């Protein structure tokens, strides 16, 4: 273990080479993850969240490449050979993905699949691996007798918990949960998120939670990174970002999801769509959807400024942030997108 950070992503840029031109889906992203910390990577569909994860563990398609640094335990993962990266994937950085529920093989008992996963990476006897699987089922709250069941005998929520057990089976240093609960109903979703959070605390592993839902982040994370169109627009502690959102996009995202504390707030969605990443604007990428856009926003990409301890924002209008916050809470504000309101 070296350094303060377990994972340090510096100026990560990832490009997909498509027929009609290059798509820089991730464009200059910095992320710092500390030991034992849980970080929420949040933003609308298509903003580059999954691309960041695929870049970290080098699972990009052939016609894609990354630049920059992804330092994990002192090594730049982008420079490792495929055989070296395979030793890290799953073993040290494990993924619970969007489609994980379908990744259990229907013809094998769930327990055997966990045992198999453990024994592929660790030189242990079957019996020892089975005890580990029992221990993990206890941790995720499923009776160990159910290890003998087939996946179809599990509910969706149980299947997802079994996948989490599998992801934890090798004591990874980082658990990446990529939209782990989107396919589940709200009640099960909340139970699973609580469980993930408890487990992460108990095991003291670090976590990256990828989601489009701000309330999921509020429930499970300590730190937040808000992405928009391939760039980080705001990052900081959950308290800081929720109490004092400083980028209009974060303010908009907060409006769009029900409060986890159950406070009644009016849900307001952000009108419009993110820009085409094949031809991104020169200025702030959120400018054409932002109610506070000025000429400067259209012309120059804003610098990242630290507004509070470890709370960083890329917006030209931080001098009027309080006024923006007040206005952003009203639906009418978002109906005037593109007109200088402050």
The residue ranges that bind ligand ATP (CB under 6 A) are 16, 18, 23, 25, 43, 45-51, 61, 212, 277
CB of 98 to ligand ATP, least distance (A): 7
Measured from the CB atom, the residue of 147 and 178 that comes closer to ligand ATP is: 178
Residue 50 CB neighbour total at 10 angstroms: 19
Measured from the CB atom, the residue of 108 and 273 that comes closer to ligand ATP is: 273
Does residue 36 contact residue 204 with C-beta atoms inside 8 Å? Answer: yes
Q: Using alpha carbons, list the distances in angstroms from residue 243 to 37, 136, 255, 318.
A: 20, 36, 13, 15
Q: How many helices (H) and strands (E) does the chain have?
A: 12, 12
Measured from the CB atom, the residue of 24 and 72 that comes closer to ligand ATP is: 24
Q: Quick one: how far is CA 113 from the chain centroid? A: 26
| DSSP assigned state of 12 | E
CB of 140 to ligand ATP, least distance (A): 25
Q: Using alpha carbons, list the distances in angstroms from residue 194 to 124, 280, 327.
A: 31, 38, 33
CB of 59 to ligand ATP, least distance (A): 11
CB of 294 to ligand ATP, least distance (A): 27
Measured from the CB atom, the residue of 50 and 113 that comes closer to ligand ATP is: 50
Six-digit token pair at 52? 């960041």
Measured from the CB atom, the residue of 31 and 47 that comes closer to ligand ATP is: 47
Spatial neighbors of 62 by CB under 8 A, at least 6 apart, are: none
CB of 31 to ligand ATP, least distance (A): 14
CB of 26 to ligand ATP, least distance (A): 7
Helix axes 156-168, 110-121, angle to 10 degrees: 20
Measured from the CB atom, the residue of 47 and 327 that comes closer to ligand ATP is: 47
| DSSP assigned state of 89 | B
Measured from the CB atom, the residue of 50 and 293 that comes closer to ligand ATP is: 50
CB of 27 to ligand ATP, least distance (A): 10
Q: Is 72 helix (H, G, I), strand (E, B) or coil?
A: strand
Six-digit token pair at 297? 């926003």
Within the chain, residue ranges assigned H as helices are: 49-56, 82-88, 110-121, 126-140, 156-168, 186-203, 214-220, 238-243, 248-256, 295-299, 321-328, 331-334
CB of 257 to ligand ATP, least distance (A): 15
| Longest pairwise C-alpha distance within the chain | 67
Measured from the CB atom, the residue of 50 and 205 that comes closer to ligand ATP is: 50
Q: CB-side exposure of 237: number of CA atoms within 13 Å?
A: 7
């Amino acid at each position: 273990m070296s350094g303060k950070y377990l994972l340090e992503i510096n100026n990560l840029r990832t490009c997909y080479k498509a027929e009609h031109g290059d798509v820089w889906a991730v464009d200059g992203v910095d992320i710092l993850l500390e030991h034992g910390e849980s970080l929420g990577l949040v933003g609308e569909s298509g903003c580059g969240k999954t691309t960041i994860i695929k870049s970290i563990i080098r699972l990009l398609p052939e016609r894609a490449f990354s630049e920059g640094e992804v330092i994990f335990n002192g090594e730049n993962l982008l420079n490792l050979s495929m055989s070296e990266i395979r030793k890290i994937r799953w073993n040290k950085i494990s993924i619970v993905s969007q489609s994980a529920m379908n990744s259990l093989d229907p013809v094998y008992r769930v327990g055997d699949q966990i045992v198999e996963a453990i024994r592929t990476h660790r030189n242990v006897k079957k019996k020892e691996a089975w005890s580990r699987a029992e221990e993990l089922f206890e941790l995720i709250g499923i009776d160990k007798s159910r290890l003998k069941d087939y996946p179809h005998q599990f509910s969706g929520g149980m299947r997802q918990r079994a996948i989490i057990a599998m992801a934890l089976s090798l004591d990874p240093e980082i658990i990446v949960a990529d939209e782990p609960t989107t396919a589940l109903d709200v009640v099960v979703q909340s139970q699973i998120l609580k469980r993930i959070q408890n487990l992460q605390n108990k095991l003291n592993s670090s976590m990256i939670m990828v989601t489009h839902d701000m309330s999921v982040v509020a429930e499970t994370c300590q730190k937040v990174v808000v992405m928009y169109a391939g760039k980080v627009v705001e990052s900081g502690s959950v308290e800081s970002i929720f109490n004092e959102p400083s980028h209009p996009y974060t303010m908009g995202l907060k409006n769009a999801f029900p409060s986890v504390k159950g406070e009644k707030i009016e849900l307001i969605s952000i009108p419009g769509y993110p820009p085409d990443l094949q031809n991104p604007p020169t200025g702030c990428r959120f400018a054409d959807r932002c109610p506070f856009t000025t000429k400067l926003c259209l012309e120059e990409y804003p610098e990242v400024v630290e507004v509070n301890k470890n709370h960083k924002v890329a917006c030209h209008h931080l001098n009027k942030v309080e006024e923006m916050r007040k206005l952003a809470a009203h639906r009418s504000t978002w109906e005037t997108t593109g007109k200088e309101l402050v």
